[in-house]
Chains A and B, each alone.
Chain A
């Protein structure tokens, strides 16, 4: 294990009970590391457990075995009860969800959405404008509800919201899968810029190897209910 690794996933395992007696293994002994400011792609066919791994990283799913460490500190499997601990945990890893049509609160404008996240983390409201600018959204979009934004604009907003707490790692779960190809390219360019400018590490989960290779330094391939193979993008 490299000393400089920022994010370490070690032997993550998750199974779900099936109706009857069986259990479905969603992820089995998944281990990887991501360097500071680095990027890792996780690809695999449907049902290979990519999303489960992404949700285990951010704490939405509790692993049956294994754990996640950020900067050498283990992340608790349970969401901490204390607010300060919850917020500190949130500042380690943030997530961008697959479907921008349902991942934004329909009642909040883009600016309100960002201000909510910023205030929660005690950050200045004014940062909302910077974040919107950072992801290429203007004043008109800032005052718009999600239903008045296009899919690409919504995903830009979702990225800005994920950046609001100032995370060290950004997990993107099929973040461009619901978008048109031309919009996908724009979002991928934006993510690349953000990574270069802010030094945030990216974990990009997707099913399209070409897309994942485009943005990441290394790729982890997950197979159905099995472990994983890791290689630099050219290796596949």
Chain B
């Protein structure tokens, strides 16, 4: 009689094709942004009026805009601001949101009530309106946009962190730190927040695409990046005038870049958040 042995098989979830494609695309875009000065055939602000609104050609692979600026070069350089700005925005939102969320969960009582009402009030305003209000006070520009949107995203991160911190702070290992005589600030900073890190990071990856879209919208509306920046949102706005002249590329190229990067970040972000435990 043969003994039947059952060997446990490590089941590894297969990565969906869409995630692989999106990750590969981002794997190309990020180095392309970093290496833009080496890859771009022209300077992003090099004007050549003789080549205005030229279509695709060996000299200009993605055509030119109304000033004869090479669209490929501009999109490559634009990737830098378009990728770094959401990162900074989310850093601001994470710093403020995690601090407020953990503070509310840890202190409870009136601190929790105050933070919760504050985030509710901020939620009541449409994010874009809130951002435009801040820009109206402090002036246009990329720095103001990043800070304003960072503030606008803070309640979302704060609410999410609060709910995570509430359940985490009730775990016995946190009680054990209390019983050891450790102070609340130290427990939160050194042990509670790092244990929330993976979940918060997963959530921020999901928010990245949304943040990029919000910044592009601000630039499109003229509140964010200002000319001669090659920010994608600003490029769409500038290229829009050429559409009536029958030239689609100046608006289509940056628009497609935004769409592809946002969709890729969303696809990769949702997958990463599931794996990091950030989407409950």
Contacts and interface: CB of A to CB of B under 8 A. Distances in A.
B173 A60 contact: no
Contact of B175 (A60, A88, A91, A107): A60
A103 B180 CA distance: 13
Given A98-B172, A103-B173, A161-B176, A121 B195 contact: no
A231 interface: no
B183 A97 contact: no
Contacts of A165: 180-181
Could you say which of B177, B178, B181, B182 has the most chain A C-beta atoms within 10 Å of its C-beta? B181
B183 A83 contact: yes
A143 interface: no
Interface string B152-184: 000000000000000000011101111111110
B139 interface: no
Contacts of B175: 60, 95, 97, 103
Could you say which of B171, B173, B191, B194 has the most chain A C-beta atoms within 10 Å of its C-beta? B173
A90 B180 contact: yes
A165 B94 CA distance: 35
A89 B180 CA distance: 9
A87 interface: yes
Contacts of A90: 179-181
A221 interface: no
A196 interface: no
Nearest to A58: B179
A60 B179 contact: yes
Contacts of B179: 58-60, 90, 93-95
Contact of A86 (B173, B181, B195): B181
A121 B175 CA distance: 17
A121 B176 CA distance: 14
Nearest to A79: B178
Contacts of B171: 102-103
A65 interface: no
A164 to B, nearest CB: 8
B125 to A, nearest CB: 33
A117 interface: yes
Interface in A16-63: 58-60
Contacts of B183: 83, 86
B180 to A, nearest CB: 5
Nearest to A173: B172
A93 B173 CA distance: 16
B180 A105 contact: no
A113 to B, nearest CB: 9
A60 B181 contact: no
Nearest to B176: A103
A104 B180 contact: no
Interface of A: 58-60, 79, 83, 86-91, 93-95, 97-99, 102-107, 117, 120-121, 158, 161, 164-165
12 contacts: A58-B179, A59-B179, A60-B178, A86-B182, A90-B180, A91-B181, A94-B180, A98-B172, A102-B173, A105-B195, A120-B181, A165-B180
